[in-house]
Amino acid sequence: MRKLLSGLTGLLVLSTLLVALPGTAAAAVWQPKPAPLTTPWTAQVSPTNALPEYPRPQLVRPDWLNLNGVWEFAGAPNLSSPPFGRTLAEGVLVPYPIESALSGIKRHEDHMFYRRTFTTPAGWTGRRVKLNFGAVTWETRVWVNGVSVGTHTGGFDAFSFDITNALRAGANEVIVGVRSTVDGSSYPIGKQRRSPSGIFYTAASGIWQTVWLEPVAANHITRLDTTPDVAAGVLDLVVQGTAGQSVRAEVLTGGQVVGTATGTVGGHLRVPVPNARLWSPDDPFLYDLRVTLGSDVVTGYFGMRSLGKAVVGGVMRPLLNGKFVFQLGTLDQGYWPDGIYTAPTDAALRFDLERQKALGFNMVRKHIKVEPARWYYHADRLGLMVWQDMPSLDAVDDVPNGRAHFESELRRMVDQLKGITSIVQWVPFNEGWGEYDAGRIVDLVRSIDDTRLINHNSGSNCCVSDPDPGNGDIIDDHAYQMSSATRLPDANRIAVLGEFGGLGRRIVGHEWQPGAGFAYGELYPDETSLTGRYVEITKEVGRFVHTRGLSASVYTEPYDVENEVNGFYTYDRQVLKVSEARVREVNQRVLALAAGTEVGRGEAISLRVTTAGYTDRHLRHRDALARTDVISDDLGRLDATFWARPGLSDAACLSFESRNYPGRFLRHSASRVRSDADDGSAGFAGDATFCARPGVGGTVLESRNLPGHFVRHYQEGVYLARSGGPNPWDSATSFTADTTWAAVVPLWRSGADLPLDQARSFRVTTPGFTDRYLRHQDALARTDVVTSGSTALLKADATFIVRRGLSEPSCYSFESRNFPGQYLRHAQFRVRLAASDGSDLFRRDATFCAQPGVGGVRLASVNELGASVRHYAEEVWVAVNGGAHVYDNPTSYDADVSWAVTAPWTP
């Protein structure tokens, strides 16, 4: 492919020269308008280099003429009077939409005309000439030398007209009329609005992708539909073009032909791809493709990969090349402060994807927009899976012709993009915007492309969504508060978190409207706090992989968009607001948890069986032996909870310490896995060390000192087994499934123990404040100095009864000693005393898991992710270390959230 693309680079240089030769009328003067923000590429844009790259990487011809550059422009009341032979007063830089600063117009027009002249190169004589448009919003009419050559409706798909019969020698005039009403329109517009606000942004009207000419033979190719068939080792290729013509296809790599096939236009060519190197995010390998129809020779590319879904480890999962790969993505909306819908340069377009890859993501959700073909080429080349949204209609309710236009453009979008290797999922609707007949729409998409998964409505738990039709391949919830649990997968559909996060940070000097920026979540003051919160919520995503069967997540968002400040980057792409290293590290950890190479090192975990029919069982110890059981009581939950420690004989591996018998570890002895006390010997350390390996839907634990032997459940017992070995537990039957374990959130959530149904007081451990205790006063929690001489009221206020957690039996709730029936709970982050109202929210707000602290016990909120009970300036809050609020200040945080559990002041 490099050889073909290097040749293309030379052609791009030539095309840049060609575009400078044919000019528009001298009156067309362009000046960029000022934009609230500029990107690193804004100043690089000029009339001679407006997106000079070849625009169609999957169907490349050597001869072409780029018509990007300055055109004459004028608004109009309608399109009934094309300005033939008339100079238009303004200059617009194509292909930037007219509302953008780079266009030089920076205003909206419902109707508009573009005009320029061109001269066809002498070498094109004897061939047909096509005028191509990447995309225009929305209704387009085109005239060449006063002759109507075609019309098109649709804002997101490419189209072309054969203009040969309208051409003449010398200069040719082309006029493009566009109607783009935007608000209240009956066609898909996504998030475009004439008066943008909130989550809706500036409109992008008129020509917004490259315009170019190309000469073609009378019999020629119009499209290549590529579908990899990995199982058969072939590329299924359909060549669209002049009917009845013979075609020849060649697959190449490194300039060498590896497979050929011949056939006819419209038929299926099965082109061999021997020993195919499969495309994946870790190895985004692409093959070159060359197709010949008579004198017409085109080149392109494709990747070999398979998509699907299957039950893996007892959970319905998406498959890439036959394996479950967690899809960790961002909500990429494709907006720019200088070009709105159009990136200022190809380098800018590439930058967004490169930086998301650098942050450790392997997927992008292209949100309610369709990008130029080169964006998908970069995703293919970089190895980023893509979820492709369909741009939504403006109205929630049906408008005349709206559904017909929606379905027409949906068909064209899927048809145009179905050869893109990186696209793994279609998303027709989002949060119910313009949703109708979702079940039928799924079937419609499936009829066009049955090779990809279909997500009928991302965020079907949200907003204006219709009832779930139950078909499609995906159950997609949006949960910006991570305390909201996603729905579980079912027998046919995969569970994904289609949007979450939305954490914000304003950067002075890099705001669309200074001071007006908002976030879907909290606003954070600095890099440390924003990164820290991202790490916390993404760790929870990792836990959901096995506890809730989660298969994908989409973080909002990679960069700010207008007044949304949710981005990792500012809208101008000038400032990275988070620590790249820390974001990448936690993202890689999630992928490793899903792949089975990580099990939550340093945390308490439980190990669930993944063998079909036994997924309700967990590994536990009982009478010093490891076994699997269906867990239903406190003792079982404790027995099935282990600390994942660095391996006793190899810190790169793992050892599993009992939660309820500290100092005892899982180890193998005479093939049986046991729970024994560490005797400090090298032999014990070796027997108690296991290395995490990728399993099928979980983790395989290989013995460190007996390579090739794995922890396996067999008839309720747990053994160290070798597939095909001499023992019954070595049976090859279901060996892979039986040795794969899902590392899940611990069945016993508290890492420290408190005495149930006994009175206790909680003393501050922060140096200088150790005479203060947690108490309630006027229904709020605070700290005060309590001594033996304190009043009886103060002592009673500082005493609580430890109860079993109201929402989680392995955690705790704290009932007032002097106000029975009232519990400590948090609301708006403040800890307070209140009577139970019987609601689920109250029960969660009043439940805290005890964890080891610094010189005491840390009380972690069960539903406010990453938050623990903290004293701050005499008040008591649930606080996140380095979070967005003043009481989240990281200074002395670890000490402030640690409480000494003492004898009660009021027994």
Distant-in-sequence, close-in-space partners of 134: CB < 8 Å, separation ≥ 6: 55, 95, 158, 208, 209, 210, 211, 372, 373
Interval 40-49: pLDDT, tens: 999 999 999 9
Query: Where in the sequence is the domain holding 655, given as residue range(s)?
Result: 636-744
- Res. 857: pLDDT tops 60: yes
What is the mean predicted confidence (pLDDT) over 71-96?
A: 98
- In this structure, the answer to whether residues 702 and 643 fall within a common structural domain is yes
pLDDT at 867 over 60: yes
Q: Is 552 a member of any domain?
A: no
Global confidence as pTM: 0.91
Q: Which of 639, 761, 653 is nearest to 703 (CA)?
A: 653
In the numeric block, the tokens 């939550």 are attached to 600
CA distance 76 to 162: 26
Report CA torsion sign: 423, 425, 426, 430.
Answer: negative
Question: Are 315 and 549 contacting, i.e. CB atoms less than 8 angstroms apart?
Answer: yes
Looking at residues 740-759, what average pLDDT do you find? 95
- Please state which of the ranges 277-291, 424-438, 471-485 shows the lowest mean pLDDT: 471-485
In a shared domain, residues 135 and 164: yes
Structural domain includes residue 817: yes
* pLDDT above 90: percentage of residues in the chain: 90
Q: H or E stretch including 777?
A: strand 772-777
Q: Could you count the other beta carbons within 10 Å of the beta carbon of residue 132?
A: 18
279 assigned to some structural domain: no
The verdict on 128 and 178 lying in the same domain is: yes
Last residue of one domain, picked from the residues 216, 244, 271: 216
Q: Which residues on adjacent β-strands are paired with residue 158? A: none
Whether 249 maps to a domain, the answer reads no
Residue partners of 65: CB distance under 8 A and separation at least 6? 15, 18, 19, 22, 118, 120, 121, 212, 213, 214
User: Count of domains in the chain?
Assistant: 3
What value does the mean pLDDT take over residues 336-363? 99
Average pLDDT over residues 100-107: 98
- DSSP 8-state assignment for residue 616: T
Residues 732 and 801 occupy one common structural domain:
no
Q: Indicate the Cα dihedral angle 654, 659, 663, 665, nearest 10°.
A: -40
CA distances from 190 to 183, 271, 395 (A): 11, 38, 10
Give CA–CA dist 289/302, Å, rounded: 7
pLDDT for 195 equals 94
Pinpoint the alpha helices (H) of 783-839.
792-797
Q: Provide the CATH number for the domain around residue 654.
A: 2.80.10.50
Q: Taking the C-alpha atoms of 285, 291, 296 and 299 in order, what is their torsion angle to the nearest 10 degrees?
A: 0
Mean pLDDT across the chain, nearest whole number?
Answer: 95
The domain that holds 98 is classified in CATH as 2.60.120.260
The pLDDT assigned to 883 comes to 84
Residue-wise pLDDT for 213-233, tens only, equals 999 999 999 999 999 999 999
**Owner of token pair 């922060």:** 766
Residue-level pLDDT at 27: 54
* 844 and 886 assigned to the same domain: yes
Kindly state whether residue 653 falls inside one of the protein's structural domains.
Answer: yes
pLDDT greater than 60 at residue 572: yes
Q: Kindly tell me if the per-residue pLDDT of 783 is higher than 90.
A: yes
For residue 11, name the pLDDT band (cuts at 50, 70, 90).
very low
> Residue 262 falls within a domain, yes or no?
no
Do both 694 and 769 map to the same domain?
A: no
Question: Domain check: are 770 and 736 in the same one?
Answer: no
Across 510-517, average pLDDT: 96
Same domain, 183 and 208: yes
Nearest to 753, CA basis, from 604, 906, 600: 604
pLDDT band at 17 (very low <50, low <70, confident <90, very high): very low
Per-residue confidence (pLDDT) for residue 486, from 0 to 100: 77
Q: pLDDT by residue (tens digit) across 51-75?
A: 999 999 999 999 999 999 999 999 9
Chain-centroid distance, C-alpha 165: 48
pLDDT in tens, 795-841: 999 999 999 999 999 999 999 999 999 999 999 999 999 999 999 99
* pLDDT-based confidence at residue 397 (cuts at 50, 70, 90): low
Report the pLDDT value the prediction gives residue 843, as an integer from 0 to 100: 97
Residues 785-789, mean pLDDT to the nearest whole number = 98
Specify whether the CB–CB gap between 798 and 905 falls below 8 A: yes
Q: Are residues 859 and 792 in the same domain?
A: yes
The domain boundary residue, chosen from 173, 194, 216? 216
Is residue 782 domain-shared with residue 850, that is, in the same domain? yes
Span 409-439, pLDDT tens digits: 999 999 999 999 999 999 999 999 999 999 9
pLDDT in tens, 581-634: 999 999 999 999 999 998 888 889 999 999 999 999 999 999 999 999 999 999
Is the pLDDT at 536 greater than 80? The verdict is yes
pLDDT over 70, % of the chain = 96
- Report how far residue 887's alpha carbon sits from residue 433's, in angstroms, rounded to the nearest whole number: 38
DSSP 865: T
Q: How confident is the model at residue 483 (pLDDT cuts 50, 70, 90)?
A: low
Domain-ending residue, one of 713, 744, 775: 744
Whether residues 789 and 684 fall in one domain: no
> What one-character-per-residue DSSP string does 339-401 give?
TBTS-SSHHHHHHHHHHHHHTT--EEEE-S----HHHHHHHHHHT-EEEEEPPPPS-SS--TT
Buried (b) or exposed (e) across 88-106, using 16+ Cβ within 10 A? Answer: bebbbbbbbbbbbbbbbbb
Q: Are residues 537 and 500 in contact, defined by beta-carbon separation less than 8 angstroms?
A: yes
Contact 300, 336 (CB under 8 A): no
| Structure tokens, 256 | 């060498």
Mean pLDDT within 168-189: 95
Q: How many helices (H) and strands (E) does the chain have?
A: 13, 58
Are 207 and 68 within one domain? yes
Strands 772-777 and 780-785, by their bridges, are antiparallel
| Alpha carbon distance 866, 851 (integer Å) | 12
